[in-house]
Chains A and B, each alone.
Chain A
Amino acid sequence: MLASLAALVAAAGTAVAQPPSVTRHVLPNGMAVVVRENPVAPVVTASLQVRAGSRFETAETAGITNFLVRTMIRGTARRSGTQVAETAEDIGGSLDASGEVEAAEIRGEALARHWEELLGLIAEVALEPSLRGEEIERERRLVLSQIKTRAETPFSLSLDTLLRELYGSHPYAWHSLGLKSAVERLGRAQLAAHYRAVFRADRAVLAVSGQVSRERVVRAAERLFTKLPRSGAHEVGAAPPAAPSGERRVLERPAQQAQILAGYLGPGLNDPAYPAFRVLGAVLGAGTAGRLFAELREKRGLAYSLGALTPFRTGPSFLVTYLGTAPENSAAAEAGLLAELEKLRRAPVSDEELARAKAYLLGSFALDRRTNARQAWHLAFFEVIGVGWDFPERYARALEAVTTADVEAVAQRYLNRPSIVVLQPPPR
């Protein structure tokens, strides 16, 4: 029963549920192209990702990758930003871009019959961005507004504060939108230099999923992306080590709910301990059987929203547990949350709990990869960060193999001295 959904979904894709055909091809300039033929719906999605993002930034450049790719879709040598948007919409689609932590993405979707125009538009944006001054200023204003919104939203402010506590001077400490101080100052020359450094064939992957033919996509990609330079001399410096504070920070903000977050650093996705660490997070936060839901919501009615977060990171990942509660219940909820974390460290999980957590994780992972957009993102992401587009299958097998002893070992190793953030309204 455990692996059923994951196995079934992974095998899905055609009218007779044949495995969808995924292939990887390397263009003469070194750029990888991953294609997934999926005839289910008359649509196509594409994800062009480059290995860049906040992981490679410093406090002085924090946000430069997101700022760059957001500005890239604001116009090319041939089209204004409005024309780029109109062209995408004319083919039943849209074009968007974002810089994340491990990778930056230009993504598009369209009706399948326009697949070639979609790839053409993505190539144009990736190869001929104009980075015009007025567009840079427009985007700067929007990004600064997004940074401000995060800082005024109780949950995101609390999470961002906790990540700073966990990572210290490591670049995982800040959100991929970047730091206000850096985004305010970045100029065209820096954006252009960053563009030249990261839009390189050997650090780019194009993934396409939808009602397309593999051969035709590969031929089109060869033609469209041939001018993407092979490689740059851009070396990635080692990030400063992450150093969790293990402190408890209190933020006072006007809000109806108090936010309570507690977190730890964990292994990166290449670490053999990573699958067990994800299972550990699922024991706490997965679904209605997760310990946090069962104990703090169902038994004690302390929260509506609560859970546990663990991301895919090549460097040290994290486990963050969170809940929102009435300010008068803040102390009880914090004690309850910490008690659950401590319990996990002191006693092994049962076989049943392990099986449930694994089923939940495998189900989530499989369900999340059923649309073309999510497939294209996953294929490009895992390929571009260096673990291969087929990482999900290996990861699913590794999750299935996790034992209670593995979970106990990661709990002992990683759940030591949480860093805590409590956001609450000021006393009246």
Chain B
Amino acid sequence: MSCPARLAPVLLASLLGSACSAVTPSSPNPSEGSMPTRRILVNGVRVVVQEFHASDVVAVQLWVGVGARDEASSELGLAHYLEHMLFKGTVTRAPGFVEREVEGVGGRINAGTSLDYTYYHTVLPAPRAIPAVEMLADMSVNSTLSEKTLDLEKRVVLEEMRLGEDNPRRRLSRQLYELLFDGHPYGRPVIGTSELIQVLTRETLVGFYRRHYVPESFVLVVVGPIIASEVLAAAERTLGRLPRSGLKRLPLSAPDAGRSARLEIERPGTQAYLGMAWLGPKLDHADTPVVDLLVSILGQSRSSRLPQMLRERLGLVSSVSTAYSALEAAGAVTVTAQLEPANLARAEAQILRELQRVRERGVTDAELRRAVTAAEARYAFSTETAEGRAYAFGRAETVWRLEEELAYVDRLRSVTPAQIRSAARRYLDPERYARLAFVPPAR
């Protein structure tokens, strides 16, 4: 489902456009289709399949339990770089296979890399489901990662970095995480650094590939008008035949208590951007649904508190919103705003006043009801497409648990106003937070 807890904070796409636009994080409404089938193959590959007959389009996704957090400090950007390279050909598929096997039949494929995971997602006409499973399985272990394409792709990734630098919102989000999680793997840039990318060798990349692209890391998700047993059989004869690697992903320690840090950076333009961040509960925490609703009430709709106060009543900002990213080892609650530079101090003070108000007086029943209804609606809308469902299953299976995902809306419904107030007190300390501002250059 598309509750704020599940939005990947930093997700980069490899082929065309933004990964974030490709799918809405979602989970299915069991009443609108069969429950997904979950199977663990003998070598540890997990497979989730759901027969879903909304259209004759199938979503086939391969999730890999590797992200920026798994990189050593000398490997920054490798998970993302590898994701680009998997589209360049395998020992049996010449470069151009994407066009021949996916786009040529009217389908689409792309991929995204985040801090906790990497995933490859396709949508295709349903009869292409089994060939897509075979293609993704082949990419996952047989990519050639040739020297020549490796060097060429460096230029493309460096362009992707430049593009990110020219986008203030994307840059704000990345740097705010760096500030909040300073010294922790979640503070690393998913895209890496240009210094490391420039000297990246094939040997290093192949080492990373062999280490992380193993059966124990894989989750295959297929949703569409398919026959589950056929998909499971295809998974068995492809991914199921890979030898176990023995890999156990190291659990990530939680970051130290939230940082108090302030940073102001000049960037071109006449408008300012403000970001404030607090540590929140990790994905697998009892407070996750509570913070989800708290953040929704604060700033995720037109009627929510921060837009109403800062944008509508006081006219201090042109936009303001809140987000909560629940990662595997920690969470981040962020408030971001776009505004005139002269309003920076007042806007920040007003945001803190609003947080203080929730900490002291809590939220109303009507606000809570509205936030739960909004979550229920996001959930319902996310069941419209096969890829929306597949995304929710894949992400839950990779970094959480499928059954938790399926029961999540019920957990939201049981949250009380008192819990929200105490979560605001626990997590949103108005005196301890990371604060980043982009301001126009001094004249």
Distance to closest chain B CB from A257 (angstroms): 4
B418 part of interface (Cβ distance < 8 Å): no
Docked-complex contact A145 and B318, CB < 8 angstroms = yes
Among candidates B303, B308, B384, residue contacting A89 with C-beta atoms closer than 8 Å: B303
Docked-complex contact A367 and B376, CB < 8 angstroms = no
Interface residues of B in 83-125 (CB under 8 A from A): 87, 95-96, 98-99, 103-108, 123-125
Distance to closest chain A CB from B41 (angstroms): 30
Docked-complex contact B380 and A41, CB < 8 angstroms = yes
A289 part of interface (Cβ distance < 8 Å): yes
Docked-complex contact B377 and A17, CB < 8 angstroms = no
A416 part of interface (Cβ distance < 8 Å): no
Closest to B164 in A: A256
Q: How far is the CA of A41 from the CA of B104 in the complex (A)?
A: 30
Q: How far is the CA of A313 from the CA of B98 in the complex (A)?
A: 31
Interface residues of A in 66-97 (CB under 8 A from B): 81-82, 85-86, 88-94
Closest to B381 in A: A43
Residues of B within 8 A of A371 (CB): 381, 384-385
A1 part of interface (Cβ distance < 8 Å): yes
Residues of B within 8 A of A331 (CB): none
Given A11-B56, A43-B377, A304-B157, decide whether A152 and B271 contact each other with a Cβ distance below 8 A: yes
Given A93-B377, A298-B152, decide whether A253 and B268 contact each other with a Cβ distance below 8 A: yes
Distance to closest chain B CB from A380 (angstroms): 18
Among candidates A9, A94, A362, residue contacting B301 with C-beta atoms closer than 8 Å: A94
Given A256-B165, A326-B159, decide whether A42 and B106 contact each other with a Cβ distance below 8 A: no
Q: How far is the CA of A149 from the CA of B270 in the complex (A)?
A: 9
Docked-complex contact B268 and A255, CB < 8 angstroms = yes
Docked-complex contact B55 and A4, CB < 8 angstroms = no
Interface residues of A in 348-371 (CB under 8 A from B): 355-356, 359-360, 362-364, 366-367, 370-371
The total number of A-B Cβ pairs within 8 Å is 213
Interface residues of A in 97-153 (CB under 8 A from B): 109-112, 138, 141-142, 145-146, 148-149, 152-153
Docked-complex contact B106 and A360, CB < 8 angstroms = yes
A5 part of interface (Cβ distance < 8 Å): yes
Distance to closest chain B CB from A43 (angstroms): 5
Interface residues of B in 123-171 (CB under 8 A from A): 123-127, 152-160, 162-163, 165-167
Residues of A within 8 A of B123 (CB): 367
Given A93-B377, A360-B106, decide whether A8 and B162 contact each other with a Cβ distance below 8 A: no
B204 part of interface (Cβ distance < 8 Å): no
Q: How far is the CA of A111 from the CA of B376 in the complex (A)?
A: 9
Distance to closest chain A CB from B168 (angstroms): 8
Q: How far is the CA of A359 from the CA of B106 in the complex (A)?
A: 5
Distance to closest chain A CB from B144 (angstroms): 15
Closest to A87 in B: B303
Docked-complex contact A5 and B107, CB < 8 angstroms = yes
A287 part of interface (Cβ distance < 8 Å): yes
A302 part of interface (Cβ distance < 8 Å): yes
A297 part of interface (Cβ distance < 8 Å): yes
Interface centre among B16, B96, B318, B369 (most CB of A within 10 A): B16
Residues of B within 8 A of A232 (CB): none
User: What's the interface size class on A, roughly?
Assistant: 35 or more
A301 part of interface (Cβ distance < 8 Å): yes
Q: How far is the CA of A255 from the CA of B157 in the complex (A)?
A: 17
A40 part of interface (Cβ distance < 8 Å): yes
A6 part of interface (Cβ distance < 8 Å): yes
Interface residues of A in 366-423 (CB under 8 A from B): 366-367, 370-372
Q: How far is the CA of A389 from the CA of B54 in the complex (A)?
A: 21
Docked-complex contact B57 and A4, CB < 8 angstroms = no
A217 part of interface (Cβ distance < 8 Å): no
Among candidates B103, B127, B271, residue contacting A287 with C-beta atoms closer than 8 Å: B103
Interface centre among A146, A360, A362 (most CB of B within 10 A): A360
Interface residues of A in 1-34 (CB under 8 A from B): 1-6, 8-9, 11-17
Interface residues of B in 151-193 (CB under 8 A from A): 152-160, 162-163, 165-167
Residues of A within 8 A of B38 (CB): none
Residues of A within 8 A of B75 (CB): none
Docked-complex contact B302 and A85, CB < 8 angstroms = yes
Closest to A286 in B: B103
Given A4-B106, A359-B106, decide whether A41 and B381 contact each other with a Cβ distance below 8 A: yes
Docked-complex contact B166 and A370, CB < 8 angstroms = no
Docked-complex contact B373 and A304, CB < 8 angstroms = no
Interface centre among A288, A293, A355 (most CB of B within 10 A): A288
Q: Mark B305-319, 1 if CB is under 8 A from A, else 0.
A: 000100110010010
Q: How far is the CA of A372 from the CA of B380 in the complex (A)?
A: 12
Q: How far is the CA of A287 from the CA of B122 in the complex (A)?
A: 13
B17 part of interface (Cβ distance < 8 Å): yes
Docked-complex contact B381 and A363, CB < 8 angstroms = no
A303 part of interface (Cβ distance < 8 Å): yes
Docked-complex contact A149 and B384, CB < 8 angstroms = no
Docked-complex contact B159 and A92, CB < 8 angstroms = no
Interface residues of B in 189-243 (CB under 8 A from A): 225
Q: How far is the CA of A300 from the CA of B98 in the complex (A)?
A: 19
Docked-complex contact A13 and B374, CB < 8 angstroms = no
Docked-complex contact B99 and A110, CB < 8 angstroms = no
Q: How far is the CA of A298 from the CA of B97 in the complex (A)?
A: 13
A325 part of interface (Cβ distance < 8 Å): yes
Docked-complex contact B54 and A40, CB < 8 angstroms = yes
Given A289-B99, A326-B162, A363-B106, decide whether A305 and B377 contact each other with a Cβ distance below 8 A: no
Docked-complex contact B55 and A8, CB < 8 angstroms = yes
Interface residues of B in 305-338 (CB under 8 A from A): 308, 311-312, 315, 318, 338
Residues of B within 8 A of A13 (CB): 54-55
B15 part of interface (Cβ distance < 8 Å): yes
Closest to B33 in A: A15
Among candidates B159, B160, B268, B377, residue contacting A110 with C-beta atoms closer than 8 Å: B377
Docked-complex contact A43 and B163, CB < 8 angstroms = no
A324 part of interface (Cβ distance < 8 Å): yes
Among candidates A5, A16, A90, A152, residue contacting B370 with C-beta atoms closer than 8 Å: A90
**Can you give 20 contacting A-B residue pairs, CB < 8 Å?**
A4-B105, A5-B125, A6-B106, A12-B54, A43-B384, A81-B312, A89-B373, A92-B376, A110-B377, A142-B311, A142-B318, A148-B271, A153-B167, A253-B268, A255-B268, A287-B99, A288-B16, A297-B156, A356-B103, A363-B105
Which 9 pairs, one residue from A and one from B, show the smallest C-beta to C-beta distance?
A12-B55, A363-B106, A301-B155, A5-B106, A92-B377, A8-B56, A145-B318, A85-B302, A289-B99
17 extra interface residue pairs, beta carbon distance < 8 Å, beyond A92-B377, A93-B377: A1-B104, A8-B125, A17-B225, A85-B302, A90-B369, A91-B373, A111-B377, A112-B380, A145-B318, A154-B166, A257-B159, A287-B103, A287-B108, A289-B99, A363-B107, A367-B108, A372-B381
Q: Which residues of B are in contact with A by a Cβ distance under 8 Å?
A: 15-17, 29, 31-32, 53-57, 87, 95-96, 98-99, 103-108, 123-127, 152-160, 162-163, 165-167, 225, 268-271, 301-303, 308, 311-312, 315, 318, 338, 366, 369-370, 373-374, 376-377, 380-381, 383-385
